[in-house]
Structure formats: structure tokens, C-alpha cells
Amino acid sequence: MLTDKILKLKKEKDVVILAHNYQLPEVQDVADFVGDSLGLSRQAAKTPHKTILFCGVHFMAETAAIICPDKKVLIPDLSAGCSLSDSITISQLKEWKKSHPGAITVGYVNTTAEIKSELDYCCTSSNAVNVVKSIPKDKDVLFLPDMFLGSYVAKMTGRKNMYIWAGECHVHAGIRSDDIQKQLDSYANSELLIHPECSCTSQIMYDVAVGDYSNRQVQILSTEGMMNYAKQSTAKNFVVATETGILYRMQQQNPDKNFIPASKGAVCQYMKMITLDKVYASLFEEKYEVIVPKQIADKARVAIERMLAIS
């Protein structure tokens, strides 16, 4: 069986397999650690293994390579990209910074290594609010590339001097308020877990504030935040507004609870490009290595280390 071959080979070759929450179930099953971007970055930083096989999208493997310059980082498919990461180029960022001299630049981890090398801070959805809160209030902030996460952070921090890049994740942008409401109506006493990259986050925050959700629990959380919340909540039904891959792990950890996708179409084709066959081939042939040029990696590492230092 392919799963057994992978488990045997990773031991023989001293390889740790990291997989994002959005990966295919069978890929999650062979991983040593499954989690969100921040959790996997932390695992990469502390792993004793010589090689990291990253089952995620390209920017995640780049981040691991930057954090662990002494390790080999492999990705099973080099073309596993990210629509959000593609929404800003290095020339666009440099121009934006020029037009706001003295501003502090905060970039979501969903960006290329080249973009990260131009940032003051990196962040993930789980610590974006705290990263921005740590910046002096009199400093302008450029937040990129996700406009929905940026809007959420601006509201949560109350910061008026925050400029937000107009990028989006095509999967989260496609989850609509109507989709969510239909699912909530179908399941009595269900709680809503929503990722801040969703296009309807701001609208839902407003709706909650004016009482439209009555006494229903609504939590705006990172994927790992969703995992933790689902474990400790006494609710039995959860409508989950993020990429559908997370439902597998949620169900595994909470077999007595029911997890409903806000939108069945919320599937990232890039995350699903990594298959068990590709994982085995990557292990067996030690391909494809992700290498970040030293000059870019050294600059990007500063922003990433600041991200890892802020919970």
C-alpha cells in the first residue's frame, strides 16, 4: 500500500512531513503534523529532521526554507501556487511603499519570499490583529495582500491610518453571506466558524453587532483557531466558512459533532494538486527542492521571525 511505503520511506530518509489543514485527507493521514500556516512554520523551525516535505502551497514551502536554511525543503508539486499570493508583485509593492514613506509594511504569510523580503512584519490570520496592535499608533500601516483580512484587522484594532491592498483568495472570496445563512437555517442550534479571509466577514461582524444572529455563536478564527474552538465547544453542529479540507480533521477530532461546509464549492485547486502519488515520488526522488536565494531569504527572515515572536 502506498501509505505504508511513504511511512517507511520517511523514516529511512529522516524526513518530516508537514501538511496544511486544506490538504486531501489521505495526505493529512501520512503527515507528522497537520495545521495552519503559523503552526506549520513553528514546526518547521523546531524540527530535528534534515529534510522537510511540505504538503501545502509554494509560499509555505518557501517560508520553511527561509526559517531553516540548513535543511532541505521539498514540495511534491512545484506548480501548487496561491491566487492570493499572486495578487501583488514586487514592483507593485515597491511603488506602494514609495507613495507612503515611513509606513510600516505588514504582509500576510500568503506571499512570495520576494515580497516577504520587503516587509517589516509577516503575519497569519491567527496573529494579524496582535501584529498590527504591536505597531506604534502614530505609524501608518500598509497591509497586504488580503483586503478582507485587512478590513477585519482594521476593525478589530480601530486603526484609522491603515492602508489595505486589494487582493483576495478566490476560495474565501467566493463564500457568500447567503450560502452561510442557508446552512445556518438548515441546522438548529448550529454555531458559525468563519475565516477572516472570507468576503462576507465584515458584513457578518456588522450583523452580529446589530443582533441579526440573535444568540447564535459566531467565531471569526484562523483554521487552527477553528480546530481548537470546535474541541472545547459544547455545540453539536458547526457551519464552517473556509476551505472544505479542514472538515476532515475536524470530524476526526470530534466524531460526535457535525461539521457543515458553508459552501461545498470552497475548494482550493492548488491545495488539492498534492496527491499521495506525488508525495511518494517527492520522497523517493527527493524532489522538488525549494531554494530561496540567500539575499532574499536573509531579508525575509526578519519579518518572519517577528511573526513567530508574536502570538
What would the pLDDT profile of 102-116 be if each residue is shown by its tens digit? Answer: 999 999 989 999 999
In 10 A of CB 102, how many CB atoms? 7
What is the reported pTM?
A: 0.90
Binding-site positions for iminosuccinate read 20, 37, 108-110, 125, 195-197, 223
- Per residue in 55-64, pLDDT (tens digit) is 999 999 999 9
* 41: confidence class by pLDDT, cuts 50, 70, 90: confident
Contact 63, 291 (CB under 8 A): no
Q: What is the mean pLDDT of the chain?
A: 93
Three-state SS for 158?
coil
CB-count exposure of residue 130 (10 Å: 0-12, 13-18, 19+): middle
Cα–Cα distance, 305 to 117 (Å, whole number)? 12
Provide the annotated binding site: 20, 37, 82, 108-110, 125, 169, 195-197, 223, 268
| 3 state DSSP class of 88 | coil
- Taking residue 79's Cβ as centre, other Cβ atoms within 10 Å add up to 10
Binding-site residue ranges for [4Fe-4S] cluster: 82, 169, 268
- Residue 237 contacts residue 189 (beta carbons within 8 Å): yes
Rounded Cα–Cα distance for residues 44 and 292 (Å): 15
- What the chain holds in terms of domains, given with CATH numbers, is 2-82+271-293 (3.40.50.10800), 85-168 (3.40.50.10800), 175-261 (3.40.50.10800)
In the numeric block, the cell 530561496 is attached to: 292
